[in-house]
Amino acid sequence: MLKAYFKPDAIKKRIHQIDLVDLVKRFDLIVLDVDNTLAIKGTIQIDLETDRWLRTLSELEVHVLICSNNPTRAAKTIAEVYHFEWLNLALKPFKFRFQRKLNQMGIQYQKGVWLGDQLFTDIWLGKRLGFHTILIEPLSTNDYLSTRILRYIEKKVIG
Ligand SMILES: [Mg+2]
C-alpha cells in the first residue's frame, strides 16, 4: 500500500529522453525540479542534451513551471533562460507554496505532469495534486545527509 502511494507513473534515466511531442500532447502543465533533475545539485550547469530539450520545450504551447526546494536563485536563473515560470523555496512536499504560485500565475490546466528525482518531495506532492509523475534518476549522488537517508528508503519503496 505504501509503495502504491509513492510509486511514480514512469521512471526515466535522463529528462531529455522524454518525448516532448508526446508529453505536450498529453499534458498542458509541466513542472520541473532543478537539483539533480535539470542540473547537478548545487549547480546551474545544464548539459547539452537537456539544454536542447528545454529549448524545444520553450517553443511549445504548454505551461512550464520550474519548482525547486532550493532557496538560491538557481530556479530563477534557469527559468529565465527558457522563459519559464519559476518557484524556489517551494517547500515540497507541502502544497501551499506551489498552489499559491499557480494562483498568482492565473493559469488554467486540465492535466499536469511532474518531473523530479525525489520520491518524497516531487513524486509524493505530484501524486497528491493529481499530476502524472515521472521519476528521473538523480544526476549525481552528491546529496545532503537527509537526502541520502531518503534515497535509502526510496530504494526500498521502488525496489
Ligand atoms: Mg531534485
Q: Is 80 helix (H, G, I), strand (E, B) or coil?
A: helix
pLDDT tens-digit readout, 46-81 = 999 999 999 999 999 999 999 999 999 999 999 999
Distance 26 CA to ligand 1 centre (A): 23
CA atoms within 13 A on the CB side of 44: 13
CATH superfamily, domain at 2-158: HAD superfamily/HAD-like (3.40.50.1000)
Distance 154 CA to ligand 1 centre (A): 13
Distance 85 CA to ligand 1 centre (A): 17
Which is more confident, 2 or 59? 59
- Long-range own/partner contacts, residues 100-109 (CB < 8 A, 24 or more apart): 101/65, 101/67, 102/65, 105/63, 105/65, 107/29, 107/63, 109/28, 109/29, 109/63
Distance 60 CA to ligand 1 centre (A): 24
Distance 32 CA to ligand 1 centre (A): 9
Domain locations in the chain as residue ranges: 2-158
Q: pTM for the whole thing? A: 0.90
pLDDT tens-digit readout, 74-116 = 999 999 999 999 999 999 999 999 999 999 999 889 999 999 9
Distance 49 CA to ligand 1 centre (A): 18
Distance 22 CA to ligand 1 centre (A): 23
